[in-house]
Chains A and B, each alone.
Chain A
Amino acid sequence: QKEVEQDPGPLSVPEGAIVSLNCTYSNSAFQYFMWYRQYSRKGPELLMYTYSSGNKEDGRFTAQVDKSSKYISLFIRDSQPSDSATYLCAMVNAGKSTFGDGTTLTVKP
Chain B
Amino acid sequence: GAVVSQHPSRVICKSGTSVKIECRSLDFQATTMFWYRQFPKQSLMLMATSNEGSKATYEQGVEKDKFLINHASLTLSTLTVTSAHPEDSSFYICSAPIAGEYEQYFGPGTRLTVT
Contact = CB atoms under 8 A, between A and B. Distances in A.
B107 A43 contact: yes
A60 interface: no
A41 B43 contact: no
Contacts of B95: 43
Interface stretch (A13-21, A63-71, A72-80, A88-96): A88-96
B32 interface: yes
B32 A95 contact: yes
Contacts, number: 51
Contacts of A102: 41-43
Interface in B17-51: 32, 34, 41-44, 46, 49
Q: Is the interface of A mostly helix, strand, loop or mixed?
A: strand
Contacts of A104: 41
Interface of B: 1, 4, 6, 32, 34, 41-44, 46, 49, 91, 93, 95, 97, 102-109, 111
Interface of A: 6, 31-32, 34, 36, 41-46, 49, 51, 88, 92, 95-102, 104
